[in-house]
Structure 1
Amino acid sequence: MKAYVAVDIGASSGRLMLGAIVDGQLKLTEVHRFKNGFKNEDGHDRWQIDHIIDEIFIGLEKVKKMGYTSVDLGIDTWAVDYVLVGDDGKKMHDPVSYRDARTNHAITQLTTDLPKAYIYEKTGIQFQNFNTLYQLYTEERDDLAKADKILMIPDYIGYVLTGNAVTEVTNASTTQMLNLRQGLFDKDLLKEVNVAQDQFPELVESGTSLGKVSHKWHVTYDIPETDVITVATHDTASAVVGTPGFGNHWAFLSSGTWSLLGTELNTPENGRDAFKENYTNEWGAYGTYRFLKNIMGLWIVQCIKRELNDQYSFKELAEMADKVAPFRVFIDINDKRFENPQNMIAELQRYVDETGQAKLETPGELTRAVYENLALYYANEIQKLSTIIANPIDTLNIVGGGSNVALMNQLTADLANVQVVAGPSEATAIGNLLVQMITTGAVKDVVAGRKLIKASFDLKTYTPDATAYPDVFTKYQTFMKTVDIDKAEKSKEAV
């Protein structure tokens, strides 16, 4: 039986998932899970990349102990962050996290010379202060000059494993430096951040064979013979491959630390409306585009849980939230103040105090406020998405950890008035595995892969009740317009 290993690493944890097709169904086994996170070093929040790589080998040792002597392996991680590699082939520093404060004002500074509309017309990528473009803009110039290679996180891991360096397109597109028309890194943007084209290794598509794990690692670890396949290395790109969407009127919501809401297109959409609403055209697997909006996600609930000393599970927090009266407060959940505050609970409490709303005190009140306002934001964006692409959305496929949050899923169905199909929660690992299987011929194509997903996993459907919360969505939209006006006035005052 052919075995495939998905290395799926997120901002808070990583795992190795074993996949195989058994009796016409895709079977998953979690082999190894480990914690991930950043530490403050030299004044910056940095990922412990050596720890991640060591944990991958520990997981592969477990795979061999299960009796597998030969496997294929794919790697997906979060986007935008990178590793600088010197002439000696080694990392110069641990990579800085996208949550680091160094880019807080970079968009304003860089777009003084290059207008936003100009950058968007070139790249079709939404403006976020942590995009690689702005990270490189704030990078130490001496370090950039000394760097032989700039590798995105999953490409760096693949490089360490095999000795071969590539730049996979789904993750590269999140840099906001790929030119939509040329299919290459844009020379004008590279010049703006003092980076040379040849510092990025060759661009490759998802499904490219990278090579075998180097012999030196077999000396240190007792691991199987491993062929590495460069899958859709951006975790959202893998999640979309692993989303069982069918027809022409579905959207996806990859719900985890972040919420990525959008649809799959065959051609990019970077017109005026898309620019105005800050939608992005990230490259997907097999010539597609992930036309989506990056929205705050379960990061806020993760912070609440941690700040409550982990005395409650996510399930217990959701149960407490279910007992709280609905829609006590409105929150602009995508406000930058919630990206990485010193204390998330205190930040939420300050927000409702500043806006003159009900207090948030109990764990249930805090959690419900987050789930409700995520659902409201999703509903608002589904409306915008349908308008921009001139195509009504009738089904939202929610995958990732958020697919298990029944309260949020039902709220989203009711407020957006769309059918919600929840699952699979492991869509990212599944998409990673499917690209490997397509590359090796075990699965014909993405359509066949999505049919395999539908046949293999229990998916839960939430039917909308448009009468459940009358007038709430309209009141929320009014609140958000007021918030936008306040932000605009503060911006003028700052200028």
Structure 2
Amino acid sequence: MIYTAIDVGASSGRVMVGELKEGKLDIQEVHRFTNGFIQREGHCFWDIDRLLKQILQGLQKVKALGHERCTVGIDTWAVDYVLLDEKGNRLREVISYRDGRTDHTIGKLERTLSRDIIYQKTGIQFQPFNTMYQLYEEDRELLKATDKIMMVPDYIGYCLTGKAVTEITNASTTQLLNVSTGKFDPELFEAVSVHEQQFAPLTEPGCELGMLRNDWFPDYDLPVCKVMTVATHDTASAVIAAPGINDSWAYISSGTWSLIGVENQTPILTDLALKYNYTNERGANSTIRFLKNIIGMWVIQQVRQQLQASYSFQQLAEEARKTEPFQQFVNLNDERFLNPDSMIEEIEHYCRETRQKIPRTAGELACCIYSNLAIIYAIAIKELETVTEKPIEQLHIIGGGARNDFLNQLTADMSGKAVYAGPIEATAIGNLLMQMIAAKEVKDIKEARQAVRHSYPIKVFTPNDIDRGTIIQSFRKNVMKALSKR
């Protein structure tokens, strides 16, 4: 059987086909396209219609390869949503989580509900762009006119099939799902002026959504497709493809964002988990992804766009390797780096404010970014071990960031852990594997991860002996210095 993954991230999307041959995965990229938000009328919007056209072009290419029938799974980024009227029409274009409308919303909502109450209900990390805060800032008249609120991947599935669901891995990122009951929390709904009827029924990964309505798209020659609800949050799909073996491993799903965490069976809602701002998101097979959201490759993506000379990411890593690491200590998780007018200027401002050497060349900028990502990763790993009370022996870096040997080695050096890099297309692979599990061609996630280990080379980076303690101490001092300048 042929399986098709529609995998759309915040910066790019792809349509991939795959099948299982003698216990090994055979996947092929059929179509790739760029993604990004558009700034208009003072807000940041996603071009959802363009994404749908690209997806249909990808599915048409699947048929052109000779695949008359296939199953399809859809995953995208989290937290953003679509507002629909009773006829299923969008009431407004989809606002991006990088929009500035929620910059101060956490504090506003805390006047009604404390952090402790929200965390005990949801177990979700406090990020200004969470769906809860976006809905809090939503136009009240628009919400009153809204018949359905759909997460982005669920909406794409709805556009293809006419069937509406709320897949639970993505629903958990809204900070509206009660982590104990597995259902939306009425008190949180009331706080943001929405009601349960505005959300489609919750569903788990691995369920059939419906058949692709080919008749709705007469301009495209499409295969016969059974659309499945996979783990629609891209990180949840990626974690399925993490090739860990026992309980002593953690992962970094490395893309536009870096999601660093472990897989648990139950949530952790302790004071320490709240203090370190860790999240308990739902994973496939009723697991909990206990993780922290770190800014990731967004910073280098923005710097690359702004550099006058044309550099590939590989070239930037090579230039960074020529520079001494840990020359600047920059808290890339600071909200100032979420969506600045100029990423290069924002890094320069930070270094100037904290009286540090300002990175000037492409290599210095890249080295600064990768060095500080490695420090932030190392701090998060230590926090994970403290909160979970379990040692981490292996760190699996999956996703596009697994290509970056320079950052992988810095991460091994700073964390003191062996780093295992790959697979690169983890999200699409996890999407495909979930379809295979649903079709009973793969028994379970354990067998799926075994197939990943058999199918892809995993590169290992062992830590060098460096003075990690001094580097982290210097980083923390500069973080406090930057905060004092505000």
Bucket of the pairwise TM-score, normalised by the shorter protein:
over 0.9
Match of 1:480 among 447, 462, 476: 476
- Written as runs of structure 1 = structure 2, the 5 A alignment for 1:58-69 is 58-69=57-68
Match of 1:216 in 2: 215
Residue in 1 that maps onto 2:429: 430
Q: Distance in 1 between matches of 2:401 and 2:424?
A: 7
Give the residue type in structure 1 aligned to 2:454. A
Taking the aligned partners of 1:70 and 1:360, their CA distance within structure 2 comes to 53
Q: Aligned ranges for residues 103-252 of structure 1 at < 5 Å?
A: 103-252=102-251
Q: Render the CA deviation track for 1:381-416: whole Å, top value 9, x for unaligned.
A: 101100100000010000011111101111111111
| Residues 442-474 of structure 1: CA deviation (Å, up to 9, x unaligned) | 111000000000000011011112x2x22x443
Provide runs of 4+ in structure 1 moved above 6 Å.
none
TM-score for both structures, normalised by structure 2: 0.98
2:94 partner amino acid: P
Letter in 1 for 2:106: I
Contact 2:354-2:478 at 8 Å conserved across structures: no
User: What is the count of residue pairs matched by the alignment?
Assistant: 486
Answer yes or no: is the 8 Å Cα contact 2:81–2:151 preserved in 1: yes
Single out whichever of 77-86 and 213-222 deviates more from structure 2.
Answer: 213-222
Deviation, structure 1 residue 308? 1.1
1:44-86 deviation digits (Å, cap 9, x = unpaired): 1110001101111101111111000000000000000000010
Whether contact under 8 Å (2:350, 2:482) holds in the other structure is no
Percentage identity across paired residues of the two chains: 50
1:73-108, CA deviations, whole angstroms, 9 ceiling, x for partnerless residues? 000000000000101111111110000011011111
Report the counterpart of residue 289 of structure 1 in structure 2: 288
Q: Structure 1 regions of 5+ residues with no counterpart?
A: none
**Per-residue deviation, 1:478:** 4.4
Please state whether the residue corresponding to 1:182 is helix, strand or coil. Answer: coil
Structure 1 length normalisation: TM-score? 0.96
What's the CA shift string for 1:210-245, capped at 9, x where partnerless? 010114235231000000000000000000001111
SS, match of residue 477 in structure 1: helix
CA deviation after TM superposition for structure 1 residue 263, in Å: 0.2
Distance 1:64 1:310 in 2: 39
For the 8 Å contact 2:260–2:292, the answer to whether it is kept is yes
Pairing of 1:445-456 with structure 2 (within 5 A)? 445-456=444-455
- Counterpart of 1:364 in structure 2 is 363
Aligned amino acid, residue 214 of structure 1? R
Q: For residue 344 of structure 1, what is the amino acid of its counterpart?
A: M
Matched, 1:407 2:410: no
For residue 84 of structure 2, what is the amino acid of its counterpart?
Answer: V
CA separation of 1:299 and 1:326: change in aligned 2, threshold 3 A:
same
Other structure's SS at 1:78 match? coil
Say whether 1:92 aligns with 2:88: no
SS in 1 for 2:59: helix
Cα offset for 1:24? 2.5
1:327, distance to aligned residue in structure 2 (A): 1.5
Partner SS, residue 367 of structure 1: helix
- The 1-side partners of 2:390 and 2:450 are apart by 23
**How far is the alpha carbon of 1:310 from its aligned partner?**
6.0
CA pair 248-163 structure 1, distance change in 2 beyond 3 A: same
Q: Which residue of 2 is the match for residue 83 of structure 1?
A: 82
Counterpart of 1:53 in structure 2 is: 52
SS in 2 for 1:441: coil
Contact 1:330 1:476 in 2 (8 A): no
In the alignment, which residue of structure 2 is the partner of 1:418? Answer: 417
Counterpart residue identity of residue 139, structure 2: E
| Shift, 1:250, TM fit | 0.2
Q: Which runs of 5+ in 2 are unaligned?
A: none
CA-CA distance at 1:485 after TM superposition: 7.1
Q: Distance in 2 between matches of 1:6 and 1:473?
A: 43
| Distance in 1 separating the partners of 2:406 and 2:163 | 45
Asked if residue 350 in structure 1 is aligned to residue 349 in structure 2, the reply is: yes
Which residue of the partner structure matches residue 35 of structure 2? Answer: 36
Aligned amino acid, residue 27 of structure 1: D
| Contact in 2 for aligned 1:75/1:233 (Cα 8 Å) | yes
CA contact (8 A) 2:353 2:482 kept: no
Alignment check: 8 A CA contact 1:243 1:399 kept: yes
Is the CA contact 2:79–2:174 (under 8 Å) kept in the aligned structure 1?
A: yes
One-letter code aligned to 1:459: I
Equivalent AA in structure 1 for residue 134 of structure 2: Q
